[in-house]
């Protein structure tokens, strides 16, 4: 039983159900670097999707690529606007790949152009790159400060919704296109080739994309 509150009754700054806390794994500079990697990769992805629209004969795939092209452009825009808020006044300076392997990954992913290579195009995006985006964004969201870095978390939450929806679209298109053992092999071979380069890159932000699982503690490593 509590006394009836009045407008001047003192209240705690955090409500009892608000468990957000200050500690986070990333400094401002760390965050800016990651955000720059996100922007670079989202840009490469929306450019690739836009470029591929004219190269795929399947009408439903064509329309999905056009739609997803904008989603990733919007993500790149969110990160472009976040960079100056992280003290980077020249966003293009940090708009770079995590490392040389990441750049090679994008080159390999965007290599297929012929109209009969729709499976390869979709595999690169929806079975390799977007799962890596989901992983890197989830790791960032779960490890950054819920209070100091709330703007990044808000953007990641919007972006993750797109990534999950787009991944589902792409995966379902692939399932509808892969109907023979030969096509299964093609998809698997291409995925393995790209995955090898991605493993070398370590993910969207390099080797620290999802932290490290090697720890003696029962808590997750970072």
Partner 1 sequence: MRQFFPVEDLARDERFVQTNMAERMKDGRTAIDVEKQSSAKSRGATKRLTPERHDASDAARGLMHGIMVGEIQALEGAGRTAHDFAAGDGTGDTVPFELKLDMARQAWDEARHVEISAKLSDWMGTELGEFAENTVLFEAACSNDPILRLAGVNRALEGLAIDVFTQMKEFGDVAGDPFLEFCEDWMLADEVTHVKMGSDWLRKVTANDPDRRTKALEFQQVVDKLFSFGGARGESADSSFSLAKRFRELAGFTDDEVETISQMDAEALEERKEAVRKYRERVGADA
The candidate with the shortest Cα–Cα distance to 120, out of 205, 61, 43, 47, is 61
Nearer to partner 1, 70 or 158 (CB): 70
Q: Which of 32, 35, 56, 201 contacts partner 1 by CB under 8 A?
A: 56
The candidate with the shortest Cα–Cα distance to 151, out of 32, 16, 12, is 32
Binding mask 60-99 for partner 1 (x = CB under 8 A): --xxxxxx-xxxxxx-xx--x-----------x-------
Nearer to partner 1, 26 or 38 (CB): 38
Q: Does 52 bind partner 1 (CB under 8 A)?
A: yes
Q: Does 53 bind partner 1 (CB under 8 A)?
A: yes
How many positions of this chain bind partner 1 (CB under 8 A)?
36
Q: Does 47 bind partner 1 (CB under 8 A)?
A: yes
Nearer to partner 1, 62 or 104 (CB): 62
Nearer to partner 1, 30 or 162 (CB): 162
Q: Does 103 bind partner 1 (CB under 8 A)?
A: no
* Contact predicate 25/55, CB 8 Å: no
Q: Which of 18, 21, 27, 51 contacts partner 1 by CB under 8 A?
A: 51
* Dihedral in degrees, nearest 10, Cα atoms 82, 84, 89, 93: -20
Per CB under 8 A, which region of 19-27, 47-55, 136-144, 167-175 contacts partner 1? 47-55
Binding mask 162-181 for partner 1 (x = CB under 8 A): --------------------
Q: Does 210 bind partner 1 (CB under 8 A)?
A: no
Distance separating alpha carbons of residues 210 and 222, to the nearest angstrom: 8
Binding mask 113-152 for partner 1 (x = CB under 8 A): x-x-------------------------------------
Residue ranges in contact with partner 1 by CB under 8 A: 43, 46-59, 62-67, 69-74, 76-77, 80, 92, 110-113, 115
């Amino acid at each position: 039983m509590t006394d009836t509150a009045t407008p001047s009754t003192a209240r705690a700054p955090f409500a009892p159900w608000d468990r957000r806390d200050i500690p986070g794994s990333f400094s401002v500079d760390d965050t800016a670097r990651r955000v720059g990697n996100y922007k670079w990769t989202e840009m490469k992805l929306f450019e690739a999707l836009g470029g591929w629209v004219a190269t795929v004969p399947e009408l439903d795939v064509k329309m999905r690529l056009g739609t997803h092209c904008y989603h990733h452009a919007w993500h790149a825009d969110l990160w472009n606007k976040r960079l100056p808020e992280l003290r980077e006044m020249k966003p293009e300076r940090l708009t770079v790949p995590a490392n040389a392997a990441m750049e090679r990954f994008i080159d390999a992913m965007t290599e297929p152009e012929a109209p009969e290579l729709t499976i390869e195009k979709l595999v690169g995006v929806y079975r390799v790159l977007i799962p890596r985006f989901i992983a890197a964004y989830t790791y960032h969201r779960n490890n950054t400060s819920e209070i100091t870095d709330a703007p990044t978390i808000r953007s990641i939450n919007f972006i993750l919704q797109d990534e999950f929806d787009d991944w589902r679209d792409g995966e379902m298109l692939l399932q509808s296109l892969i109907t023979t053992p030969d096509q299964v092999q093609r998809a698997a071979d291409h995925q393995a080739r790209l995955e090898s380069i991605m493993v070398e890159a370590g993910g969207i932000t390099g080797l620290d994309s999802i932290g490290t699982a090697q720890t003696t503690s029962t808590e997750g490593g970072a």
